[in-house]
Chains A and B, each alone.
Chain A
Amino acid sequence: DTGVSQDPRHKITKRGQNVTFRCDPISEHNRLYWYRQTLGQGPEFLTYFQNEAQLEKSRLLSDRFSAERPKGSFSTLEIQRTEQGDSAMYLCASSRQSNQETQYFGPGTRLLVL
């Protein structure tokens, strides 16, 4: 399978704990995106990487959220001191470098904060 993969698929945590999610993009894609999706809503843009550089970041991404892509391949999204409002599906997508790119999405990580 050469699609976008995400790990874990599900995460249950207690409020105040830190969590980290991983995304492995399609191998030849140098662009990577993180989104958050809550029930009944479309995906909301969080951040974007081109290779290892984080080029755009949403105001939704508070200082408790941090994302990295250290070698321009896989990416991690960390949420510190989780809150119940962080409960959502976290989606990762990747695309080729072109101004007309199609984003290919992973299956998502569903986070539940108790």
Chain B
Amino acid sequence: AQSVAQPEDQVNVAEGNPLTVKCTYSVSGNPYLFWYVQYPNRGLQFLLKYITGDNLVKGSYGFEAEFNKSQTSFHLKKPSALVSDSALYFCAVRDDTGGFKTIFGAGTRLFVKA
């Protein structure tokens, strides 16, 4: 069965510092991995995805994520946080065995302090 774990409910970081939001997953086949961001009163917005290829994926707003197959992780990173990055971040996974069910993590709230 597919599952996603986001071990931190909240991450606090100072503006200008690097940030990491953690995600680990479990799937039967090969994973398709996604990060979405949710701002207050707005829908989920796609940030980036890993399907195949380079383990380091670059996405919107300067975010990137690194796929690590041995650790079954897909951590979201940004070299220098902005106050405007404060939001709720969701990791999601789907496998390549033919189904279309996407499993989302419970979310991690990122708070960037000025």
List residues of A whose CB falls within 8 A of some B CB: 4, 31, 33, 35, 40-45, 48, 50, 55-56, 58, 91, 93, 99-100, 102-108
Contacts and interface: CB of A to CB of B under 8 A. Distances in A.
B44 A105 contact: yes
A43 to B, nearest CB: 5
Contact of B106 (A40, A56, A104, A105): A40
A103 B102 CA distance: 10
Interface string B85-114: 000001010001001111111110000000
B100 to A, nearest CB: 5
A111 to B, nearest CB: 16
A104 B36 CA distance: 10
A10 to B, nearest CB: 11
Contacts of B51: 100
Contacts of B46: 102-104
Interface string B44-58: 111001010000000
B71 to A, nearest CB: 21
A45 B101 contact: yes
Contacts of A33: 100, 102
A23 to B, nearest CB: 12
B106 A107 contact: no
Given A100-B49, A100-B51, A45 B44 contact: no
Nearest to B99: A56
A16 to B, nearest CB: 29
A33 B51 CA distance: 20
Contacts of A106: 43
A43 B34 CA distance: 13
Contact of A48 (B34, B49, B100, B107): B100
Contacts of B49: 100, 102
A31 B100 contact: yes
A55 B99 CA distance: 9
A42 B106 contact: yes
Nearest to B88: A42
20 contacts: A31-B100, A33-B100, A33-B102, A40-B107, A42-B4, A42-B92, A42-B105, A42-B106, A43-B44, A43-B104, A48-B100, A48-B101, A50-B100, A99-B96, A102-B34, A103-B34, A103-B102, A105-B43, A106-B43, A107-B43
